[in-house]
Amino acid sequence: MFKKTLIVTPALLTMWTFGCSESEIFKSNVNTKVLEKKAEDARAELPPPDAKVLPPVKEAPQGAGQVEFEAAPSMDSVAEAAPETTLSVVRKLTVILPSTEIRSGKKTLQAKASITGAGPVAITWKLVGPGGIDIGSIDSKGFYTSPADETIKASIQIVATLNNDPSISDKQLLNLIPVQQLFVGCKVGNTVFPISGDIYALPEGSKQLPDFSAIAAAKKETICLDKYDIPVQGWAAGFPASPAMNEWFALHSSANLIIPADGEYSFKLSADDGANLYIDGKLVVDNNGIHSMKDAFGKVNLTAGKHKIIIDWYQGPRIYLGLQLFWQTPGSSEHVIIPNKSFATYISGQ
């Protein structure tokens, strides 16, 4: 029998050594990339240093009954008489609210009442809501103040009753929205939530704002905001009609911005991810692209009065987001969040 013998030549030894070395280098490269990817993923999950920490929402305990808060009767509290053309022998009282939602946290709104038919019109105002939580207060003139606790979420009723005939009464539902609920469902804006916008689903991996005219079929719902003031924060709540949507979406929003005086205005748009600000159809601040919370600035001369603004904003991967709009008015030395009172609902043609 012949034995097979492997003869290792210097050339073969060199090739074997090089192959082992190359294999180890390849493994090293793969391991390095894996470690880098894991480190990158870990960094993505870390909250930004200034991320807002949200307290839990407070709702009425299970099984809690209703409570009532009644304003002290006053002859100052009167219903507005309806136009004479609607007057009749049948008396009817109607409660009118500027919005069906209001933030918790000592926010206010003025409830009004309208009455048909002749006779005294003095009324009493009352709140009805779930027990176990603060539902706010209302005065004798229908001026409502929401609870001081910003985390309260509840549905209450504002009730008006004719003083000389308690059988004549009306009520309207009012939803208390906690501060950490960023968006409310709506059809159009109102005096409390004047900014309205449409939410669209985006393809995963989107790197910039979409062409909204090209993605009409991706529209999910309409939402409203009281102002553009969403500090960077972790967010998983989704939207009123789309609770599972917490990433890969875009907002196309509009409102009227009320300019107090002629002059040059500087705007700061802070966003995570990309956002653009348009005023009267012109791009004023470009903060597009996928990025963490980032500031961008722009200046424009504006005349006193209403100007249509549009803010387009999109969210890439979860979980952190943010959107804030600041202005520096003529004569001011700093940028401040534009307050709710400086916005009005935009209606096409007005």
DSSP 119-185: S--BEEEEEEEETTS---EE-TTSEEE--S-TTB-EEEEEEEEETT-TT-EEEEEEEEE-TT---EE
Q: Which residue has the higher pLDDT, 35 or 6?
A: 6
pLDDT bin (cut points 50, 70, 90) of residue 284 is very high
Query: Where in the sequence is the domain holding 126, given as residue range(s)?
Result: 66-177
CATH number assigned to the domain comprising residue 196: 2.60.120.1560
- Domain annotation covers residue 30: no
Structural domain ending residue among the three candidates 123, 149, 177: 177
Q: How many CB atoms lie within 10 A of CB 156?
A: 26
Write down the pLDDT at residue 88.
Answer: 55
Q: Domain check: are 135 and 251 in the same one?
A: no
> In CATH, what number is assigned to the domain containing residue 160?
2.60.40.60
Residues 224 and 241 in one domain: yes
Q: Which two tokens stand for residue 206?
A: 């989107």
Q: From residue 239, give the alpha-carbon distance in Å to each of 62, 219, 223, 254.
A: 24, 13, 8, 18
Same domain flag for 117 and 166: yes
User: Is the CB of residue 302 less than 8 Å from the CB of residue 327?
Assistant: no
Same domain? 227 vs 339: yes
Residue whose token pair is 């001369």: 301
Do 248 and 171 lie in a common domain? no
24: in domain? no
Q: Measured between alpha carbons, how far is 79 from 10 in angstroms, rounded to an integer?
A: 107
Q: Is residue 136 part of a domain?
A: yes
Helix (H) or strand (E) holding 319: none
Q: Are 127 and 228 in the same domain? A: no
Positive or negative: CA dihedral 338, 343, 346, 350: negative
Instruction: Give the residue among 272, 298, 273, 271 at the shortest CA–CA distance from 283.
Output: 298
Tell me, what's the pLDDT at 94?
Answer: 96
What three-state secondary structure class fits 236? coil
* 25 falls within a domain: no
The reply to whether 258 and 161 lie within a common domain is no
Point out the domain boundary residue: 177, 194, 209: 177
pLDDT digits (tens, 9 = 90+) for 165-218: 999 999 999 999 999 899 999 989 999 999 999 999 999 999 999 999 999 999
Overall domain count for the chain = 2
pLDDT of residue 23: 42
140 neighbors 76 (Cβ within 8 angstroms):
yes
Residue 32 belongs to a domain = no
Task: Indicate if 335 and 188 belong to the same structural domain.
Answer: yes
Give me the pLDDT at residue 60, please.
82
CA 210/CA 282 separation, integer angstroms: 17
pLDDT of amino acid 7: 44
Q: How far apart are CA 327 and CA 270, in angstroms?
A: 11
- Classify residue 316: in a domain, yes or no: yes
pLDDT in tens, 291-335: 999 999 999 999 999 999 999 999 999 889 999 999 999 999 999
Q: Within a domain: residue 170?
A: yes
246 lies in the same domain as 333: yes
Cα 144 to Cα 130: distance, rounded to the nearest angstrom = 17
Nearest alpha carbon to residue 182 among 130, 256, 131, 242: 242
Q: Is residue 287 over pLDDT 60?
A: yes
Q: Are residues 149 and 210 in the same domain?
A: no
Mean pLDDT of 113-134: 91
Return the percentage of the chain with pLDDT > 70, whole number. 82
Report d(CA 256, CA 213) in Å as an integer: 21
* Same-domain pairing of 337 and 262: yes
* Same domain membership, residue 190 and residue 133: no
Helices of type H across the chain: 10-45
Helices (H) and strands (E) in the chain, counts: 1, 24
Model confidence pTM above 0.85: no
Where does a domain end: 153, 177, 201?
Answer: 177
The rounded distance, in Å, linking the Cα atoms of 231 and 241 is: 23
For 326, other C-beta atoms within 10 Å of its C-beta total: 18
Q: How confident is the model at residue 289 (pLDDT cuts 50, 70, 90)?
A: very high
Asked if 146 and 138 count as a contact pair (C-beta separation under 8 A), the reply is no
pLDDT at residue number 347 = 85
Judge contact between 160 and 95, C-beta under 8 A. yes
Specify if 1 maps to a domain.
Answer: no
7-64 residue pLDDT tens:
444 444 444 444 444 444 434 444 444 334 333 333 343 567 667 666 788 888 877 7
**pLDDT per position as a tens digit, 60-105:** 887 778 888 888 766 567 778 777 655 456 889 999 999 999 999 9
C-alpha torsion angle, residues 283, 287, 293, 298 (rounded to 10): -50
